[in-house]
Structure 1
Amino acid sequence: MTLTPASRRLRPALLRASVFALAAALATPAAAELELSFYGGWQTSPHSRVKGEYGSGTNQSSTFDDLIGWDGKSFAMPPYYGVRATWWRNEAWGFGVEFSHDKAYAPEGEMAAAGFERLEFTDGHNIITANVSRRWLEAWGSATPYVSAGLGFAMPHVDVTPVGGEHTYGYQVTGPAARLTAGVNYPLNDRWSVFTEYQFTWSDNSADLDGGGSLDTTLYTNALNLGVGFKF
């Protein structure tokens, strides 16, 4: 895994806040209850603008600014999935970390119109956050509703080829990210549970292109997740 100089263009204030939040979550001491959650589901990515500069070796004009209607393709390989760890400090509040393997493909027609042979973040558009969580035990009988919010960073696998240009293919730290989640957990026994949830992510991405040039886009995702949890 090779990280590129794109990380230098992260917005300083948001990056500092993300790193601080992640460090705080990782430094949280072991609590009475640790919950691991694993999920998959249906993830989409709405339209966003893609801006930047082509490398000098391409056949394109120097800059681009295009609206892309991204496809999520949740079940195409590699599939969309996520995992998180939550340290519940008491019956209501918890802290944790989360990784989600989101995906964004540019449709062929829009990709070609923007001057690209490949334009995707599919292995994946990885979002890493530190979360704060709130739950309401037995609020709906045995079911437990919960919400969480997180700050962190995006580390997508950038797969981009301008027409006539070089193929950019690798992981980059591209910018700050945030996550919001709301769901319901259903216990099966003292340790195992199942859950369903809605999740939204935002990331502000700036990727370096091999052969020169750059690509900037803000990516949003919406997901309906189903998962399983395990408590220690």
Structure 2
Amino acid sequence: MKNVILGAAIVAGLTTAAAAETELSFYTGWQTLPHSRISGELPNGGGDYDELVGWKGDSFAAPPYYGARAMWWQPSGLGFGVEYTHTKAYADDDTLDTLGFSQLEFTDGHNVLTANVHKRWEDRWGNITPYVGGGLGIAFPHVDADHESGSNTYGFQVTGPAVRLTAGASMPINDRFSVFGEYQFTYSTNEGDFEDGGSFDTDIKTNALNIGVSLNF
């Protein structure tokens, strides 16, 4: 009986995989960030700090803002996949001056990786397909921070959990390719370290308007 159940489960899994549509999407766009607080300890024993940061996105400055995702769509309209976004966050000049940094940024980038679940409604508006989705994952920014005390931080850190929300619509241009536009929001909590004993704790929220192209097969 166990072998029968196992065999049925394998067949069901293979059938689902065969029925799934694979979609690879690539996008860029305009990404901004609202203000948030940053706190922690300044490097080299500089003391505790707690400041409001006016983050900047500078989407089109090198390295640019971009993202990619892979989705496996089921006949039900549900899709499961993974997504990576290279967002960016630059601290504003007032924060740099107040805290003694010449650079304080996550620009190569503030990377977010999530596992996603999406829902789409094919051909709801003619040949336009609306969709919504969300995901959970991690943030692993490239921290670039130079402090007047001599501390220079430059490298990737895994800083905390991340959430992603997406709403958009796609339109086919032929049997294999489609174009899409969407709004995307990400939220992450970030706790990391500066060289020479410092630390930071900040929440990063991004708002983005994306345009992109998808390959379907």
Q: Normalized against structure 1, the TM-score is what?
A: 0.84
Higher mean C-alpha displacement, 41-50 vs 103-112: 103-112
Question: How many correspondences in the alignment?
Answer: 202
Q: Is the Cα–Cα contact under 8 Å of residues 38 and 52 in structure 2 kept in the other structure?
A: yes
What amino acid does structure 2 have at the position aligned with 1:225? N
Contact 1:68 1:111 in 2 (8 A): no
**Aligned ranges 1:77-226 → 2 under 5 Å:** 77-226=62-211
Aligned-residue offset at 1:217: 0.2
- Say whether residues 1:53 and 2:38 are aligned partners: no
Q: Does the CA-based 8 Å contact 1:30-1:87 persist in structure 2?
A: no
Structure number having the greater strand percentage: 2
Distance 2:128 2:101 in 1: 48
After TM superposition, which residue ranges in structure 1, 4 or more long, deviate above 3 angstroms?
Answer: 28-31
* Aligned partner of residue 113 in structure 1, secondary structure: helix
Question: Structure 1: any 5+ residue segments left out of the alignment?
Answer: 1-27
TM-score (norm 2): 0.90
The separation in 1 between residues aligned to 2:99 and 2:42, in whole angstroms, is: 11
Percent of aligned positions that are identical: 60
- The structure showing larger relative contact order (alpha-carbon pairs under 8 Å, at least 6 residues apart) is 1
Q: Distance in 1 between matches of 2:165 and 2:98?
A: 33
Any idea what SS the aligned residue of 1:112 has? Answer: helix
1:65 is aligned to 50
Deviations 1:129-172 (A, max 9, x none): 00000000011110000011000000000011222131110000
Q: 1:100–1:126: 8 Å Cα contact kept in structure 2?
A: yes
CA RMSD of aligned residues (A): 1.3
Alpha-carbon separation, structure 2, partners of 1:136 and 1:110: 45
Q: Distance in 2 between matches of 1:30 and 1:38?
A: 24
